[in-house]
Structure 1
Amino acid sequence: MAMTDSTFTLPLFPLHAVLLPGAALGLRVFERRYLDMLRECSRQDIPFGVCLILEGNEVGAPATPAAHGVEARIDDFDMGADGVLVLRLRGHRRFHVRQVRVRDNGLIMAEVEWALPDPDDELRPEHALLATVLSHIIEQAGSAFAPTHPAQLDEAAWVGWRLAELLPLEESQRLQLLQHDDPHQRLDDLLRWIPANSTRIDENW
């Protein structure tokens, strides 16, 4: 479904949540347009994108999605007790929406440009506190969020995305982080937000 060398046509699943690179997200799928989308993606071995809803709802008329989102891949699926398909998604590449069109069935198709992969930068000294905060949260949250190797706690991009996933942030704040190409800029934002979230962090962990 590639359109040009730099863009790709991607079906979108707008949600009232931000999917982040490397993060997991549970999703119940029952609308026909999205069930058809999943079958099409499976047949063609293509991903779909998740974008935050800026205006509208997750069901019914097509919502207005944010211009930045994340490629979603299915880690696992099951049928709920009510017969609804339940997916466990994993976020991968970031993208920027350049243009959208809506199919007759209400499915939003977007021409997207993939963001460059995060650089392998190490944490800067001014962000060392964030690695300590993340380690504390992971101790409370459990092994599912633990790094695959200790060196990840020194990686600017990994620390930023995991904090964005685990901190009690507003979805608008997560969207702001998603728009940054510089992992250190994401960490600057997180460092500013932590004092405002310190009480909520203690309550959650």
Structure 2
Amino acid sequence: MDLPMFPLGSVLLPGQLLPLHIFEARYQAMLEHCREHGDEFGVVLIERGHEVGGGDIRSDVGTVARILDAHLAAPGHWTVVAAGVRRIRVRRWHPDEPWPHADVTPLVDTDEGPVDALGRNVGERWTGVLNRLTVVADIATTMGDESYAGMPDVADDPRLGSFQVAALSPLGAFDRQKILATTSLDRRIDLLIEMLDDVIVTLRAARTLGGDASPFAG
């Protein structure tokens, strides 16, 4: 499948909203194309370099984004809200004309099927992930980080919920990319437990040292 692509310096996860301000001419043309042909485009992380001017290195795992709203904010300036809907793997990049595009294929978990059938106490470990996220939110809030006020509920299904937790957690782009690219729910839960434990240790240390706000805020 040949899909229009939007390389970014951040990771889009399934279930996550993506606000965009589009002003570059080729992406305005891409937006028009997408709105005429299904409202979808791919998003991948720029791992090194800058997309403008070329020469960037892009991740081979990304997310399909579906346009939810788009309006012309000013001449030549579009405000767009999209949502991550499913994962993809890039098989081959084409030349960036008239806009970046690539051949992509769906990326799915290798351990598909009922969560209860996976073993290793997946349900119990998933509850542990949610509990850790609550701890992160509580500590960060006491330190003055207001980003967790009104935190949305996480899906009951850990296949989607694992990506939502990664989006809500103060993780770096490469940690989020690791979560995105992991094709095992079982392994993804393990990674989230490891990452959230590290975040909790960092937050508690910062609070002990008298920090007034989460070191991850802003």
Structure 2 counterpart of 1:124: 123
**Is residue 2:91 matched to residue 1:91?**
no
Counterpart CA distance in 2 for 1:143 and 1:165 is 15
Q: Distance in 2 between matches of 1:13 and 1:62?
A: 15
Q: Distance in 1 between matches of 2:151 and 2:15?
A: 12
1:196 to 195, 198, 210: 198
Counterpart among 31, 37, 47 of residue 54 in structure 1: 47
Separation of aligned partners in 2, 1:21 and 1:120: 19
Pair 1:39–1:81, CA change in 2 (3 A) = closer
- CA distance, structure 1, for counterparts of residue 70 and residue 78 of structure 2: 7
How big is the alpha-carbon RMSD for the aligned residues of Structure 1 and Structure 2? 2.8
Deviation at 1:84? 2.4
Name the residue aligned to 1:108.
100
The worse-fitting range, judged by mean Cα deviation, of 119-128 and 70-79 is 119-128
TM-score by length of structure 2 reads 0.76
Give unmatched runs, 5+ long, in structure 1: 1-7
Alignment of 1:54-73 (within 5 A): 54-61=47-54, 63-73=56-66
- For 2:119, the equivalent position in structure 1 comes to none
- Percent same amino acid at aligned positions? 28
Q: Do the aligned partners of 1:51 and 1:66 also contact (CA within 8 Å) in 2? A: yes
Q: In structure 1, what is the equivalent of residue 211 of structure 2?
A: none
Alpha-carbon distance in 2 for matches of 1:46, 1:80: 19
The 1:46/1:9 distance shift into structure 2, 3 A limit, reads: farther
Structure 2: segments with no counterpart, 5+ residues:
117-121, 142-146, 208-213
**Distance (whole Å) between structure 2 residues aligned to residue 130 and residue 110 of structure 1:** 35
2:150 corresponds to 1:158: no
TM-superposed deviation, 1:49: 0.1
Change (3 A) 1:35 1:124: same
Equivalent pair of 1:156/1:184 in contact (CA under 8 Å):
no
Q: Distance in 2 between matches of 1:83 and 1:36?
A: 11
1:146 and 2:153 aligned: yes
Deviation at 1:85, TM superposition (A): 1.3
TM-score by length of 1: 0.80
Alignment partner, residue 182 of structure 2: 180
Partner residue in 2 for 1:5 = none
The secondary structure found in structure 2 opposite 1:145 is: coil
Partner of 2:26: 33
Task: Find the structure with the greater CA-based Rg.
Answer: 2
